[in-house]
Amino acid sequence: MFAIYAVSSLVMVAGLGFVLAASYRSEARQRGLAEGRSEALLVAETGVDPLLDGRPLGARLDRDEITGLDRLVDRSVRSHNVLRLRVRNLAGNVAFSDDGSGFGATPEDDAVAAAHGATVARLTHLNTDINDHGATGPAAVEVYTPLTAGTPAHQVGVLEVYLPYAPINVDVSSGLHRLYRDLLAGLVALYLLLFALSVSLTQGLRQQVTRNKFLAEHDLLTELPNRSLFHHRAQQAVRDAVATQSHAALAIIDLDRFKEINDTLGHHNGDELLTKLAQRLVAFTRPEDAVARLGGDEFGVVLCDVKNPEEVLHRLREVIENEVEVSGLPLSIESSIGFVLSPEDGIEVDELLQRADVALYVAKAQHTGVVRYDPSQDHYDAGNLALIGDLRHAIDNDELVLHYQPKMALPHRRVEAVEALVRWEHPSLGLLSPDRFVPLAERTDLIDKLTQWVLQRALSDMSQKTELSQIRMSVNVSARNISSGEFASQVIAALRKHGVSADRLIIEITETALLTDPSHAAVVLAELATFGVAISIDDFGVGQTSLSFLSSLPVHELKIDQGFVTDMTSDPAHCAIVRSIVDLGHNLALRVVAEGVETEDVAGELCRMGCDVAQGYLFARPMPLDRLRPWLTDATRIHPASLR
Ligand code: C2E
Ligand code: MG
Ligand code: MG
């Protein structure tokens, strides 16, 4: 490319040189002719004109004129100033010729033109006119110029003179050679300048192209490959794994609580942390592996020909966890890693990445660090993806409905609260239970929209002057909801909007959700509790909440998981667990709720254990508001303490 440019600019400069040289040459020729013309004029005015008496010249000159001209010719020819001199009359015919040539010949056009007053000069050689004879003589400037005489001066004839071109040429050529030399030097300088310019421009362009290519494929902050290059590398690794019958691992790493660091220490420090971690990842992996920043606090790693990916990724996780100094502050950050192994888990990169994402989600939700994809974890089939798409519109189109299930205070079995349970009246699939779509929503930001919808609808129903306005309301929230910094203020704003007092709202959060991000959850729950909202730990017993963590939380209620309750009368172990939770709750000064109460036996046993509240099909199934209201009208159903 550059060679083409260099050669083409050379051709252009050379072309310019030729054109300029040709124009100089023609200019020099013109100068030569002009010089010849003025010399001829001088000869005519000073040498010939004074010899003439003012009569138009005839066919022959008189003796005096011939003598004068001979003398003039003698002087000029001898001094080599003139090669030939002829005098013509106004008809153009030769009247005098220094060498006797040209008499009787037909006048040339130039001679006729001069007879009419013009001065004509031509570059020629002696004896090359059609009327001339003899060998071709030296180069000459042939000039025809009018001769004038008399008073007043008028044209009487024509002077034809051949002046030697050699001396004129020497003069003109020396100037021309100087010009050629200067021209050559100028052109060489111009070419060198163009060459230097093009070298620097080409280098600049090449750097720009390299930079643009880099930017298109890399993350600006960490300079790691971006998602698109990662995809490409992953594809290559998968192809190699298939070809060499080895394994390639594709892992997605997500930093835990990075948002908190960003919020508290500022984006600048967050960026510094990401850059340092990126360097660590690169240092940890081998050159044939790939590390990329997939966005935010998410990194991707491809491990080629890997024997024990889980072990390697555990070590990688430790490397991330090692203290990093950011702005002089020692920080340690945990991460969750989801990974897949190709070809076992698939050979399509898009599918592999989606599966690694599912594994990552599980790792994050279960706090298990490194998790390999397992099809049983996967809820991302095409049907579910379509359902997530529909859900967004469902919320806007009010396709969701709330069913309310009463919570009965024991032992009197009076309603003390209802729990809002969401359902989806899907246009084609019918009424969908929350298990079908809430877990899907929880994997996206849609869960925020969904929870907001539930909260607004429940509070709006509570604010109406109905039976519902007398009791408390439980609303379920997901781990992802409380990970948003604005959740508490959103709840408080919703309470204000509907004019519902905070102590009538119970936020139910499952024990496992609480464990997703315990310290952050503690902050959000404390904020809600300060405002007067009660906190209930749902499905309690299936997670492994540490008792010290539990006692540190501003919790008001433990809701025993229905898995222990429903069969507690037939399963002594479950019975023991329920009894222990009831005792634990009371010892921590918490109310204890048993969910999934389906039989009188279970209800009786719970009463004996001193459980405070029971909820289950025995009392009522979740029902829409228009069925709940008549159900609640039975005054005996509402707990007197709930009445205001
Ligand atoms: P959960 O909060 O533990 O709700 C109790 C679930 O058990 C409800 O299922 C309820 O219908 C069911 N249930 C109640 N009594 C009995 C009983 O005696 N026997 C049996 N076998 N089941 C009983 P549902 O409505 O299908 O909700 C399932 C889960 O979906 C809820 O569990 C809750 O975790 C979640 N969920 C429901 N609504 C929402 C919501 O608005 N937001 C969020 N984030 N999650 C929700
Ligand atoms: Mg619940
Ligand atoms: Mg539950």
Output the CA 261–ligand 1 centroid distance in Å.
Answer: 35
- Whether residue 469 is predicted with pLDDT greater than 90 in this model: the reply is no
Ligand 1 atom closest to the Cα of residue 510 is 34
The more confidently predicted of residues 24 and 462 is 462
pLDDT at 314: 95
Tell me, in angstroms, the distance from the centre of ligand 3 to residue 494's CA. Answer: 24
Is the per-residue pLDDT at 380 higher than 80?
A: no
Q: Which ligand is nearest to the CA of 561?
A: 3
Among the atoms of ligand 1, which is closest to the Cα of residue 617?
Answer: 18
Instruction: Tell me the CA–centroid distance for residue 7 and ligand 2, in Å.
Output: 80
Say whether pLDDT at 607 is over 50.
yes
Q: Which ligand ends up closest to the CA of 560?
A: 3
Neighbouring C-alpha atoms within 13 Å toward the C-beta of 371? 25
Q: Which pLDDT tens digit goes with each residue over 145-167?
A: 999 988 888 999 999 999 888 88
- Strongest mean pLDDT among 204-218, 345-359, 400-414: 400-414
Q: What angle do CA 525, 526, 527 make, to 5 degrees?
A: 90
Looking at the CA of 421, name the nearest ligand. 1
Percent of the chain topping pLDDT 90: 47
- Is 121:99 a contact under the CB 8 Å cutoff? no
* More confident site: 600 or 8: 600
Probe target for ligand 1 pocket from 435, 476, 511, 600, with the most ligand atoms within 8 Å of CB: 476
The amino acid at residue 330 is P
The alpha carbon of 518 and the centre of ligand 3 are apart by a number of angstroms equal to 19
| pLDDT score recorded for residue 135 | 85
Q: What pLDDT, on a 0 to 100 scale, did the predictor assign at position 381? A: 58
Distance 595 CA to ligand 2 centre (A): 9
Average pLDDT on 377-389 reads: 64
Nearest CA to ligand 1 atom 21: 596
Question: What helix, strand, coil percent values describe the chain, rounded to 5?
Answer: 55, 20, 25
Q: Which residue's CA is the closest to the ligand 1 atom numbered 15?
A: 616
pLDDT of residue 636: 65
Over 60: is that where the pLDDT of 640 sits?
no
Ligand closest in space to the Cα of 405: 1
Compute the distance from residue 613 Cα to the ligand 2 centre, in Å: 13
Considering the chain, what percentage of its residues have pLDDT values greater than 70? 96
- The whole-number pLDDT of residue 493 equals 96
CA of 419 to the centre of ligand 2 (A): 7
Residue 269 pLDDT greater than 80, yes or no: yes
**If pLDDT is split at 50, 70 and 90, which confidence band does 242 have?**
very high
Cα-to-centroid distance, 421 and ligand 1 (Å): 6
pLDDT tens per residue across span 116-146? 999 999 899 888 877 777 888 888 999 999 9
pLDDT tens digits, one per residue of 221-241: 999 999 889 999 999 999 999
Task: For ligand 1, atom 20, name the residue with the nearest CA.
Answer: 596
Q: Is 393 helix (H, G, I), strand (E, B) or coil?
A: helix
Provide CB contacts within 8 A for 291, sequence distance 6+.
224, 225, 278, 281, 282, 285, 299, 300, 301
644: confidence class by pLDDT, cuts 50, 70, 90: very low
Q: In the 3-class helix/strand/coil scheme, how is 429-455 assigned residue by residue?
A: CEEECHHHHHHHHHCCCHHHHHHHHHH
Model pLDDT, residue 425: 95
Which residue type occupies 22? A
Tell me which of 452, 593, 595 to substitute to probe ligand 1's pocket, judged by most ligand atoms within 8 Å of the beta carbon.
Answer: 595
> Closest Cα to residue 47, out of 30, 71, 24, 72?
72
Which structural domains are found in the chain, ordered by start? 19-171 (3.30.450.20), 227-377 (3.30.70.270), 382-634 (3.20.20.450)
**Long-range Cβ contact pairs of 196-200 (< 8 A, separation 24 or more):** 198/2, 198/5, 198/6, 198/9, 199/2
Least confident of 371-385, 438-452, 498-512, 607-621: 371-385
Of ligand 1's atoms, which has the minimum distance to the CA of residue 622? 11
HEC-encoded secondary structure of 399-430 = CEEEEEEEEEECCCCEEEEEEEEEEEEECCCE
Q: What value does the mean pLDDT take over residues 322-350? A: 90
Of the two residues 16 and 291, the one the predictor is more confident about is 291
CA 435–ligand 1 middle distance (angstroms)? 8
Residues 6+ apart with CB under 8 A from 129: 108, 142
pLDDT at 643: 44
Element (H, E) at 278: helix 267-284
pLDDT digits (tens, 9 = 90+) for 13-59: 888 888 888 887 888 788 888 888 888 888 888 888 888 888 888 87
The model's pTM is 0.52
pLDDT given at position 50: 87
Q: Residue 374 pLDDT > 90, yes or no?
A: no
**Residue nearest atom 38 of ligand 1, based on CA coordinates:** 421
Spell out which residues line ligand 1, taking CB within 6 angstroms.
Answer: 405, 421-422, 433-435, 438, 451, 454, 476-478, 508, 538-539, 562, 566, 595-598, 615-617, 622
pLDDT above 60: residue 532:
yes
> What is the sign, positive or negative, of the torsion defined by CA atoms of 275, 324, 252, 285?
positive
| R_g of the chain, CA atoms, integer Å | 54
Q: Give the pLDDT mean for 468-487.
A: 88
